[in-house]
Amino acid sequence: MDALKTISLTKYYGKSRGILDMNLTVEQGDFFGFIGPNGAGKSTTIRTLLGLIAPTSGSAQLLGMDILCQKEAILSHVGYMPSEASFYRNMRVKEIIKLSADLRHRDCRAEAKKLCERLELDVTKKIRELSLGNRKKVSIVCALQHMPDLCILDEPTSGLDPLMQREFYAILEERNQKGATIFVSSHILSEIQRYCRHAAVIREGRLLALDSTERLGHTDTKRVWLGGVHVPPDLPHMKDIQTDGDSVSFLYDGNLKELLNTLSALPLTDVSITEPDLEEIFMHYYEEEN
């Protein structure tokens, strides 16, 4: 059984495109990233999976359960964190957390307490007194306190400071080691590269690629940085050329010997040739698709 499976899942908002013909499979126990630029359709996919909006066509299952007919069973096994949660502003954090547990008919007090301590969340505060980051923490506790088998998290780290982001991912890694499947959407590629084993790339409502983050990040392209020159060398296969005073940098996917021959004739003071990170690869990928 897959943790998540969509078959030709399509969502239109009236005439405008949400997602198109999405075929996505995530295995149980995976730590999976869902990447795409703004407006790509990440939230639409996730909200359709959670039954918050109805698909126009196609079907999907979470943990083998149909998203349309088995919504209640899904609620008890899946944890969902929306990209922007809105809570009743006059309720206290502990009341919101209890309400979320009650909806699932579960006593989650012990786990909620642990999560609040780790995230340094003051449960006595009213929602209206909280910063964006602290409201985000309330969402995290609501999504994770019932120890779901599948966690679906929509841009979970936006608004969290770096220390809290690290703590949050530490919690997810522990859950994943205990067998939970983690599905996290983001447009921060470094975060996906660091934590996820597999990832799907989505753009303009369509799935562009689905593979291990290692394979997605594999490329023969190099990032070349040259010190002591003002203009880029005359070479084919150069992209994303940047000049900055007395240094030049570019992506290169041509012949390495040709590159080294050309560089040896330049008055360089320094040079570095490195693997581009996932971010650079995908920027490049998006551009090529245009």
Ligand X SMILES: Nc1ncnc2c1ncn2[C@@H]1O[C@H](COP(=O)(O)OP(=O)(O)OP(=O)(O)O)[C@@H](O)[C@H]1O
The stretch among 11-19, 71-79, 173-181, 211-219 that binds ligand X (CB under 6 A) is 11-19
Of the candidates 39, 89, 170, 237, which one interacts with ligand X according to CB under 6 A?
Answer: 39
List Cβ neighbours of 170 (8 Å cut-off, separation of 6 or more).
Answer: none
Rg (CA), the chain: 22
Residue pair 46/9 in contact by the 8 Å Cβ criterion: no
Of the candidates 13, 54, 103, 256, which one interacts with ligand X according to CB under 6 A?
Answer: 13
Query: What is the nearest approach in angstroms of ligand X to the Cβ of residue 194?
Result: 19
List Cβ neighbours of 215 (8 Å cut-off, separation of 6 or more).
Answer: none
Does residue 38 belong to the site contacting ligand X (CB under 6 A)? yes
Query: What is the nearest approach in angstroms of ligand X to the Cβ of residue 208?
Result: 13
Residues 161-220 that bind ligand X (CB under 6 A): 187
Query: What is the nearest approach in angstroms of ligand X to the Cβ of residue 17?
Result: 6
Residue pair 24/198 in contact by the 8 Å Cβ criterion: no
CA distance 131 to 119: 14
CA distance 122 to 125: 6
Does residue 88 belong to the site contacting ligand X (CB under 6 A)? no
Our CB check for ligand X shows the closer of 40 and 278 to be 40
Amino acid residing at 70: Q
Q: Give the residue among 184, 187, 205 at the shortest CA–CA distance from 196.
A: 184
Q: How many residues form the binding site for ligand X (CB under 6 A)?
A: 13
Our CB check for ligand X shows the closer of 44 and 61 to be 44
Q: Which residue has the tokens 């869902």?
A: 34
Does residue 82 belong to the site contacting ligand X (CB under 6 A)? no
Our CB check for ligand X shows the closer of 83 and 249 to be 83
Rounded-to-5 percentages of helix, strand, coil across the chain: 35, 30, 35
- What is the contact mask toward ligand X in residues 16 to 35, using x (rule: CB under 6 A)? x-x-----------------
Our CB check for ligand X shows the closer of 41 and 233 to be 41
DSSP 8-state secondary structure symbol assigned to residue 69: T
Does residue 42 belong to the site contacting ligand X (CB under 6 A)? yes
CA distance 220 to 229: 24
Of the candidates 41, 51, 156, 217, which one interacts with ligand X according to CB under 6 A?
Answer: 41
Give the footprint of ligand X on this chain (CB under 6 A): 13, 16, 18, 36, 38-44, 83, 187
